[in-house]
Structure 1
Amino acid sequence: MKFMAKIELSRHIPLVTLIVLVLCITPPIFATKNCDFPAIFSFGASNVDTGGLAAAFRAPPSPYGETYFHRSTGRFSDGRIILDFIARSFRLPYLSPYLNSLGSNFTHGANFASGGSTINIPKSILPNGKLSPFSLQIQYIQFKEFISKTKLIRDQGGVFATLIPKEDYFSKALYIFDIGQNDLTIGFFGNKTIQQVNATVPDIVNNYIENIKNIYNLGARSFWIHGTGPKGCAPVILANFPSAIKDSYGCAKQYNEVSQYFNFKLKEALAELRSNLSSAAITYVDIYTPKYSLFTNPEKYGFELPFVACCGYGGEYNIGVGCGASININGTKIVAGSCKNPSTRIIWDGVHYTEAANEIVFSQILTGVFNDPPISLDRACYRK
């Protein structure tokens, strides 16, 4: 009877109206379907570097990598970084660095990130300087070359064709960005005032956006873009600028405010970009809030000595000698090793985070609570 009643009712409803009603009461497929990213392409600096800088120069020394990989892999941590947890969440392999020609498999993406990279083209680069020669613009050029070379290899066939992404993966992949910290650091250590560093932020962000546009023009559509973390909580800042005013938790207040200003301008620029690129899904990821929470409530997450680096030697923050470096003390050679239990520390080497801290931050950003728009990682292919 109920079925007959529905038929009878449909006789009195225009076809177009009936279709609209069906669509309204039938949930769209995308509302319940997660994104199925077949590949990830990553751009940025040391926070997402899986061995790019190591392939170009040399890997950071032991005990880097000791917790998970049990060897140095080029990651700036004792173990896995946030990018690794993102890849794992999609059941994808850890990303091979684009610059690594030995044993790399690019079937499910590639990593163009390099430790020490900047958005703006740096003036002083390795090996004589401290910054990477692979700025974001260079990473974009490398990615562009990667696309054309994979097409050539795919057309030729053979064993190498099995180690590169399928052609449609470039439009279906997730594109991750984490860069900008080093642009701010250049200012901090370049005798600029806080105000002068802030004044450079709009130009840095503009260059960031231009490179994102360029990568979009190559076919990228799903963007997951990290802001920067609380620079004022890093031991390297606290040790080198001891007179900086601290907040109630012990972080250098003004240096954190620069990070927040950078994030504000980036978020603002991405909102505008989102309106201009209607076919792109652009998610701004607030890394600052979950990272800062580690320092404001370390006990909650099982951490101790929040501002003391796990790996290093000497000084209030244990960074008098860099992680893995050696020093002679009274004729005895001492290597700056790691703390007994890295899982109880937030900071690994004075700048970068431990695997334990990275995993906690990942668990918070994947939900979308801190993102703009508030989209979870597994929905990052959808436009708000």
Structure 2
Amino acid sequence: MDVDPRSSCFPRLGSAIAPSFKVIGALDPTLIWRVTVLLTPGTVRLDHGRKQPVKFLQPQSPHRQAEPPASTTVENPALRVGTGRASAHHGELLQGVFEDEHGRLHRALLTLPYARQQAVATFWPRQQPGIGTRPAGRSKSARAAHLTLQHLGISGIGGDLTIESTIPIGHGYGSSTADVIATIRAVAASAGATLQHASVARLAVAAEGASDAIAYGEWALLFAHREGAVLEHFGREFPPLEVLGFRHMRGQPVDTLRHPRARYDSGEIELFRVLRGLACRSIRQQDPRLLGRVATLSAKINQRRLRKPSFDALTALANEHGAFGIQVAHSGTLIGILMDADEVMRGNRVAALKKSLAGAGFGDFTRFAIGTDGARNP
């Protein structure tokens, strides 16, 4: 594969660099990669909450669903019932260790958005401190509510938090992060405040220790999930892809915070530098096939940390059906086969593919699209 060094994803490193690069090994991570890339990550802006006088509006009964209040920032907000929402994701397209502009390494990921499943949080403010949750035991969300009030400069105030979610727990959909981000948005809405995406992400990491890039919606970016910071914004939407998602029916839910952190060797870190550049190129040039190959390689590397059953058979099956590649939840059980969105519309091969997967013990199928107009969710 030729990599054009004039692309901003692979900036020129000096006169010693040849006019084009060759990636050796047909994207096989077990072989040597003879390419060097230097990427310039983006920056993150943060907003800062101000202390403001607090007034209350009488909340409605918590047994009724509140309408989301307006998201306009006001000078002297009255606390009222606030509602926030957040979507799930379907694992990652890329996850590993990447450099910032100072050469420091950060764990980071490129999230695959999955808007069909959502969490909705409703915050009912009260003048007594403390946060109650329903369902009970949502300690991460309660902490997120407290931190958001603190961030907004509001003290001595508590509330009751109701969370409703359709997102399955423990398989890589980002259920706890969706709960936390929906909570942050609900509390901010209660104060009539608007928070920047970066602030929401940092609050989420503070509340639960690690967070996916759900706060940024469907933006394509490399996100340091244990710091709540953007390493690089790839500058465009995802290229058009149809995703057939599933998991092995014997797979057990994974506690992401208790799961051991992946340790990568120097060769893998060099490979991640290449994959980062290729991911950037695939998004900026709207090349879904290249993005599928990046995702497959990232999934292969992850097999050394959290194995997916029958992975080699899955990649062969994907190739047989003309798919672009495979993506996984790197700390969950989810798997997705990435297909050409337009080709799926013309000739639907999904039924035969699902039948083969079901025969191999896979199930819980879902199908969705990204990077398309009127994304289909059959």
TM-score interval (norm. to shorter): under 0.3
Higher relative contact order (CA 8 A, sep 6+): 2
> Normalized against structure 2, the TM-score is what?
0.24
Between structures 1 and 2, the one with greater helix share: 1
Between structures 1 and 2, the one with greater strand share: 2
Pick the structure with greater CA Rg.
1
> Normalized against structure 1, the TM-score is what?
0.23
